Chains A and B, each alone.
Chain A
Amino acid sequence: MIKPTVQRIGDDRLGLRVDDPRSAQLIASRLRDKPNLTEVVAGMDSVVVAFDPFNLAAEAVEAVLVEAASFDDTGGTGDHATLDIAVSYGGVDGPDFNLVCDQTGLSADALIARHTAPLYCVDMIGFTPGFAYCGGLDPDLAVPRLAQPRVRIPAGSIGLSGTQTGIYALDGPGGWPIIGRTNQTLFDANSDTPFKILPGMNLRFQPA
């Protein structure tokens, strides 16, 4: 078995590269109740843990990570609920819609058709509370991040980058080209389930 590569990050974190978002979520969930790990965060193809360096040596944490990554899991029961998201494409709600048309060579109608066709899967929540990274994007819609990220993107904005589409649940900065926006509430601090979109859910977009 090839030992997974663990990377030291700063003085109080370690990172592990994994194959895919599902592996990242599985490994992260195994690590979450370990003592002295203060944060366990799943990325798209990595897991990073923060540890208490006053109580643990990096080597000890590395061993815990390697163990958590070392067995296969092909089963699993994620949440398969499907959420429909109504999107206003282009114009003020999609400031990079035309840019993405140019980059992909698609007409406005074709871009909307291709973005609304798939059933997406939520790979990861991150970036800001409730931001959902969704896999299943049509490969012809692959575009790079903005060279200069925006300082403020309105809540509900929907962007694209590489193989994913993403929904910004709150106002905040962002580096993804924005093609549209939804009015639906995606984060509610007063609710028992503040985050409306969770890893493992399925999503479909519809033109508003």
Chain B
Amino acid sequence: MSLIVLTSGIQTTLQGRPRGGYRHMGVPLSGPADPLSLALANRLVGNAPHATGLEITLGGFSCRVETSISVALTGAPGQIHVNGAPRAAHKTLHLSPGDTIAVDPPRVGMRTYLAVAGAIAADEMLGSPSTYLPASLGGHHGRALRAGDSLVLLNPHRAPDTETPEHLRPSFSHSWALRACVGAEHGDLSAESASRLWSDTFTATRQSDRMGLRLAVDPLHLSSDGCMKSVPVFPGTLQCPEGGEPILLGVDAQTTGGYPRIAEIARCDLHLIGQIRPGDHVRFLRRSPDSALDALRQKTELISNWTSAGVL
């Protein structure tokens, strides 16, 4: 029983449970760039938070289902159409055989998530079904979806009607404030640049993808010499190359790097990285690790009351 891709959009991939525990082999985390939104979509169709769904980048995606199935969409708010009629996000939708569903390009945010009741079959690699494009791992033959692709629906069924409570629906804008801790090499920044890291407004450039975002700003100044030895890095690490314009690492980011680590995004805000689009403004809010952990606990409690599991 299938879902047929009609239009694929610029990059739609299967994402689900991340590929954790392999960073020492150079294998990144992958999984949804915005795991909160995938979890919310899965909740609307009665799936576990990490069930494999579609990550749709900047909309333009449409498909046809060949069976009755419930679906839901969350994340970047591109208008949804079922058989041409507008439908709501954050709500269980019920499709009949032959129905088409489409997502328009969103005006804010980057990634829209489509979950289907009973999840989608994907190639498992190193313990995860998630797609890592650079190594063609997992997902649908390790690649982005194309028009004509046929995806296998594992257990299509009708899920109970529900909607995401309003207060749990993430808001979207063109300005983002990310809580972050000082990075291991924050001390390499000049005093003036260290101050500016926490007060300047950075702009996301067009060079952005699942590996990370390049941010534009009046270049920051480092006292180091460009020859730092490679250190382990993670999604949410903010690196500062010699040129002084930082790089914010995403879920597909490399596992080690030689640029100074000037900040680390608090775990509670990592999901926001997946929604920053070129041109958006970004600011960093300095937090101690313990204060970041408090925020993580609070946010997790709020969300897991609804999703019944931790997703951050």
Contact = CB atoms under 8 A, between A and B. Distances in A.
A129 B229 contact: no
Interface residues of A, number: 52
Interface in B235-263: 236-237, 241-243, 247, 254-259, 261
Nearest to A37: B21
A201 to B, nearest CB: 14
Contacts of B20: 38-39
B211 interface: yes
Interface in A47-81: 47-48, 50, 53-54, 58
A130 B26 contact: yes
Nearest to A13: B234
A157 to B, nearest CB: 13
A52 B293 CA distance: 11
A115 B259 CA distance: 24
Size bin of chain B's contact surface: 35 or more
A151 interface: yes
28 contacts: A10-B181, A10-B266, A11-B266, A11-B267, A12-B267, A15-B231, A38-B21, A39-B20, A44-B229, A46-B232, A48-B232, A53-B293, A54-B300, A58-B289, A124-B230, A125-B25, A125-B26, A126-B230, A126-B255, A127-B230, A127-B255, A128-B255, A129-B135, A131-B26, A145-B259, A149-B259, A173-B211, A175-B257
Interface string B296-312: 11001000000000100
A189 B256 contact: no
Interface in A154-199: 161-162, 169-173, 175, 187, 189, 195
B265 A10 contact: yes
Contacts of B227: 142, 144-145, 161-162
A36 interface: no
Interface of A: 7-13, 15, 28, 32, 38-48, 50, 53-54, 58, 124-131, 133, 142, 144-145, 147-149, 151, 161-162, 169-173, 175, 187, 189, 195
A50 B136 contact: no
Interface in B91-128: 125
Interface in B1-54: 20-21, 23-28
B264 interface: yes
Contact of B135 (A41, A128, A148): A128
A111 B292 CA distance: 49
Given A148-B241, A172-B211, A175-B259, A46 B26 contact: no
Given A10-B234, A41-B256, A128-B26, 16 more contacts: A28-B24, A38-B21, A40-B24, A41-B23, A43-B232, A44-B230, A125-B24, A127-B230, A127-B257, A129-B137, A131-B256, A145-B226, A147-B243, A162-B227, A170-B134, A171-B134
A147 B242 contact: yes
Nearest to A198: B25
A9 B288 CA distance: 10
B232 A42 contact: yes
Nearest to B266: A11
